[in-house]
Amino acid sequence: ANEEFVVTNHAAEIIFGVGNGGLLGKNLKEFLSEEQNMLILNQTKIRKEGQSSSYELELTCLDGKKRNVIITAVPQFDDNKKFIGTHGIFRDITEQKQAELALKESEDKYSKAFLMSPSALTITSAEDGKFIEVNDAFTAVSGFTREEVINNSAVELNMWVDKEEQKWVISSLLEGRDVVGKEFLFKRKNGEIITALFYAKIIHNKNKSHILSIINDITERKQIAEKLQNSESFLKETQVI
């Protein structure tokens, strides 16, 4: 396929990293990998049939930089309807691709931090309270598997000992108030009651509102504190004056 540049403008020269007139006579193949040249070959066959096409390419430019572009290729024909070339429009999307990559890396880091946290973490829908994601610490604390909780709510799983406390949490969050370090009772899958410090806030993702919750089991700590308090009370009552 002959993809030699015949006419270019200054914007195209900036994208390809060449000086004034530097693209003329060069072939698009010079800027592409072997794999992408195969894509160009296939697209050229399509254009010769009279179809326009758009596709994404990564250019290795003459200034040594890599640039991502979307090319819209419109076939050109002479009066006898013979294919004579392509009118190509290049749009530089390098910054967009870099932003997307940075966002993905950020999401990957967040995902790893979420899953590996020693605290029990959950993400639920603000609309219906159904679990969207939980980490391993949550399954250990609750006794439920991930498969058992996803697309179910804590209410449906009967996890809240006091349903009014759950309603208060939702009401507070919807009114814009985070829930920070509140002590609540929760029921594990086996029916065991645990005491936990509960944290929750509204987060937004893809134009949807979710609730990020942290559940720190303090049952053992509470039991030790109560035993210590009882011991101190006993000593005071038996102290000889």
Tell me the per-residue pLDDT of 63-114, one tens digit each, with 9 for 90 and over.
788 999 998 888 888 888 888 888 888 889 988 888 788 877 877 888 888 9
| Alpha carbons 88 and 90: distance in angstroms, whole number | 6
C-beta of residue 104 within 8 angstroms of C-beta of residue 94: no
Tell me the per-residue pLDDT of 203-215, one tens digit each, with 9 for 90 and over.
987 778 999 999 9
What was the pLDDT predicted at 234? 53
Q: Among all chains, which residue has been given the structure tokens 């800027």?
A: 31
Neighbouring residues of 69: CB distance < 8 A, sequence distance ≥ 6:
15, 56, 57, 58, 59, 90, 91, 92, 93, 94
C-beta of residue 151 within 8 angstroms of C-beta of residue 183: no
Tell me the per-residue pLDDT of 111-143, one tens digit each, with 9 for 90 and over.
888 988 989 999 999 999 999 999 999 999 999
C-beta of residue 151 within 8 angstroms of C-beta of residue 227: no
What was the pLDDT predicted at 238? 61
Tell me the per-residue pLDDT of 147-156, one tens digit each, with 9 for 90 and over.
999 999 999 9
Q: Which residue has the higher pLDDT, 190 or 21?
A: 190
